Amino acid sequence: MKYLVCASFGSLFLLLQSCNNQTARISDPDEVVVEVNPSHFLTNGGDFTIETVACTLSDGTKTKCYKITTRGLATDHAMGPWCPETISDGPDKSGKWIKDGELVDADGDFLKNLATIYDDPTWIMYDENGNIKRSETKEDCMKLAGATLLDEFTNHCIECLPSYISEMSKTYLLPVKPVRLVEPTTLGGGGPPPGGERPSGPPPSGPPPGGRGGGPASRGIAFNGVVFDAPAPLSLILSGYTIAPFDDAGGHINMDAGYHYHAATGATKEIEQPDGHAPMIGYAMDGFGLYARLNTAGEEPTDLDDCRGHYDDVRGYHYHVDAAGKNNFIGCFSGATVR
């Protein structure tokens, strides 16, 4: 026997179209639902198309979706640098890394001091001339696809260049009109192995990154067509005595996902909000808007749910991404994603 609970939350009047499964929709006639606006995307860079197609969402809804096809390379900011060439290269010639929940400079000095930073003398990522040992070629990056650890890259800084993925094409589907569900969908992909992915330090806000749930691994898409991806597998990368820096935009390249972000640093197109709300930075894979973490006064909303979302009458339901350095964007999908 099933026990059905149809609850109303606060003053929000919920008409549950069905209460007998986990994918019941929230349908409130007074709630503002903002459709995806395809004109927000920077499709003028070429190889970036958006078409409308029929699709089925995770709750069974048959609807229309935007099919986004892109090379997935940023057109609104520089990509790289990632690995410094020598232990004397400063932050201007280097990328970033996550340490203790913060985005730090992965510059020559940082890579020189890894044995101290990680308290493990195995770390020596430079030769006798002070040159950083790095992945060098597309072939190197092909070997490392699928987050493969190889002895030959022990104590190497890993970087893959945009030229390696010039032939890559990525396709994403976003529901034109997001559908909010009673039960959020857990995130997919990129989850940490049991026992801890997270770097030491204080726990981040929000749920742990990368639960191995049923939703898509990509959390969302920036307006330049680059994905906000599942958490970087930090413990796996570190266990192979490698570092795979992000650039100042929070992105790096692998041969599986292409160029993708692990942090939102404000480098991509933002849409300012006239009321001082945080700027919009893209869409989550369920079609709800993705916004920066902080409003123009530097404050984070205090009423975010477990998915890092909340509602207002201007933007409808929407998310605020987590802080750069948390290896996380949102906590779950409140809306139905494409099957």
Binding residues for Zn ion, rule: CB under 5 A, are 232
Nearest approach in angstroms of CB 262 to Zn ion is 6
Radius of gyration of the CA atoms of the chain, in A: 21
Our CB check for Zn ion shows the closer of 260 and 269 to be 260
Nearest approach in angstroms of CB 80 to Zn ion is 14
Q: Which residue is nearest to Zn ion (CB)?
A: 232
Nearest approach in angstroms of CB 227 to Zn ion is 10
Our CB check for Zn ion shows the closer of 56 and 295 to be 295
Our CB check for Zn ion shows the closer of 126 and 291 to be 291
Alpha helices in the chain (DSSP H): 108-112, 114-117, 138-143, 234-239
Our CB check for Zn ion shows the closer of 109 and 300 to be 300
Our CB check for Zn ion shows the closer of 15 and 78 to be 78
How far is residue 310's CA from residue 331's CA, in Å, rounded to a whole number?
A: 12
Nearest approach in angstroms of CB 217 to Zn ion is 11
User: Nearest 5 degrees, angle CA 18-CA 23-CA 27?
Assistant: 55
Our CB check for Zn ion shows the closer of 124 and 236 to be 236
Our CB check for Zn ion shows the closer of 126 and 246 to be 246
Nearest approach in angstroms of CB 202 to Zn ion is 23
- For tokens 């639960």, name the residue: 211
How far is residue 166's CA from residue 156's CA, in Å, rounded to a whole number?
A: 24
At 296, give phi and psi (nearest 5°): -65, -15
Buried b (16+ CB within 10 A) or exposed e, 124-137: ebbeeeeebbbbee
- How many other CB atoms are there within 10 angstroms of residue 173's CB atom? 18
Nearest approach in angstroms of CB 209 to Zn ion is 12
Nearest approach in angstroms of CB 1 to Zn ion is 40
Work out whether the CA dihedral 312, 315, 316, 322 comes out positive or negative: negative
Our CB check for Zn ion shows the closer of 56 and 208 to be 208
Structure tokens at 197: 């992915």
- How many other CB atoms are there within 10 angstroms of residue 329's CB atom? 32
Going by C-alpha positions, the residue among 142, 151, 176, 154 that lies closest to residue 254 is 142
8 A C-beta contact, residue 68 and residue 50: yes
- How many other CB atoms are there within 10 angstroms of residue 50's CB atom? 17
Nearest approach in angstroms of CB 254 to Zn ion is 6
